[in-house]
Amino acid sequence: MDKSTQCSDFRPAGRLGSIGVSEILKIGAAAARLKREGRPVIVLGAGEPDFDTPDNVKQAGEHAIRTGKTKYPPLEGTPELKAAIVEKFRRENGLSYAPDEVTVSSGAKAILYNAFMASLDPGDEVILAAPYWTTYADIVRIAGGTPVDVVCREENGFRLTAEDLERAITPRTRWLLLNSPSNPSGAAYTEANLRPITEVLLRHPHVWLMSDDIYEHLVYDGLDFVTAAQIEPALKPRTLTVNGVSKAYAMTGWRIGYAAGPKPLIAAMAVVQSQISMACSVSQAAAVEALNGPQEILTERRLAFQRRRDLVVDALNAIDGIACRKPEGAFYTFASCAGLIGRRAPDGTVIDSDATFCRYLLEQHDVAVVPGSCFGLAPYFRISYAASEESLREACARIARACVALS
């Protein structure tokens, strides 16, 4: 046999543990396979706006290519983008940062990776408010830390309470990670919700706060977005505020995320980044235009998302067995399917979990959604309503038919 085709014994690094490719990507792949087979699957799994990148932003990217902004960019971001980020934090969040307190990376995900790699030692704990974006726990593990899940119950609006936070803090706690509005629950924290949490953190000076604000611009019903460093300046010296252009400006493919925080942390993150990669120079130029250019598109899109949210929440709540809290932000609904557990599908399958329910929806009713168990809270399922109203209406009708067919 040709030696080049023989399988070698590959042993993955121990640090990967049981971490695999994200469940959400697997559902996306299963849906894509069914589509290739000709099935009319509606995919409501992706965390990606269906809108296009605004034209002015695309033009800024084209201009960057034509004018030779195609060389290695500076390690922590171009001066123009860092200035735009400093100005964004001042204008939108009332936060004042110097350029060396700001860093840019290839997406907010890379920012989180740099921050955890730069700060965690084996055994260091990171408190995560479940349900949460599973990437958090996986990056913490890769960085050698220990994720500590705190379940945020639906009765509390899927928000972390001060009491639960207090109980979870140990001498090994390094970070609390908060994400508002949240992926997957859509829950957002008002100042009144955040204040008790900041008070707990003030009592525990060894705990730092990572605030993932990537869905900042997607808040509804006139809710005022607030971030922790803004409402509690005493926490600013130990807060990393993470954001990016992916969701607000429909720029997921451009891969630009950024953060602001204390200089020593930002410098340590640069050490990690220096051995991976800087953010694409062309994308950085486009992100400057996104942050500095006209912002009206944010309002238009926010209103479109709000309409879609209302459509989906109303349709889900009309289905026997499903109950959906109205989320304050992001583009996800996180509905309970507890009322369906124990029911039986026409082929005899018993719906014994949210994962089985989601598999049933995909395989027998052509709708791809993600089980709550993927985010650390069951039995729920997440719908991403970043899709046209027409496909959302059709998807909800299919889910209703699927539920009626259960006995």
Ligand X SMILES: Cc1ncc(COP(=O)(O)O)c(C=O)c1O
Burial class from Cβ neighbours inside 10 Å (0-12, 13-18, 19+) for residue 15 reads exposed
Nearest approach, Cβ of residue 37 and ligand X (Å) = 28
Extended beta strands in 206-292, E state:
208-212, 239-244, 257-260
CB atoms within 10 A of CB 168: 19
What residue has token string 């099935």? 39
115 binds ligand X (CB under 6 A): no
Binding mask 220-259 for ligand X (x = CB under 6 A): ------------------------x-x-----x----x--
**How far apart are the C-alpha atoms of 220 and 227, rounded to whole Å?**
16
Instruction: Return the structure tokens found at 284.
Output: 């950085």
Question: How many residues sit in the footprint of ligand X (CB under 6 A)?
Answer: 13
Q: Residue 101 or 212: which CB sits closer to ligand X?
A: 212
Are 50 and 386 in contact, with CB atoms under 8 Å apart? Answer: yes
Q: Residue 257 or 376: which CB sits closer to ligand X?
A: 257
Name, in order, each residue with C-beta under 8 angstroms of 86's C-beta and a sequence gap of 6 or more. Answer: 97, 98, 99, 102, 260
* Range in contact with ligand X (rule: CB under 6 A) among 70-78, 107-115, 278-286, 337-345: 107-115
Are 119 and 268 in contact, with CB atoms under 8 Å apart? Answer: yes
Report the residue closest to ligand X, judged by CB. Answer: 107
Binding mask 43-82 for ligand X (x = CB under 6 A): ----x-----------------------------------
What residue has token string 């970070």? 175
Nearest approach, Cβ of residue 241 and ligand X (Å) = 12
Chosen residue from 69, 88, 109, 365 binding ligand X by CB under 6 A: 109
Site for ligand X in 167-186 (CB under 6 A): 179, 183
Q: Residue 225 or 360: which CB sits closer to ligand X?
A: 225
Q: Which residues contact ligand X by CB under 6 A?
A: 47, 107-109, 133, 179, 183, 212, 214, 244, 246, 252, 257
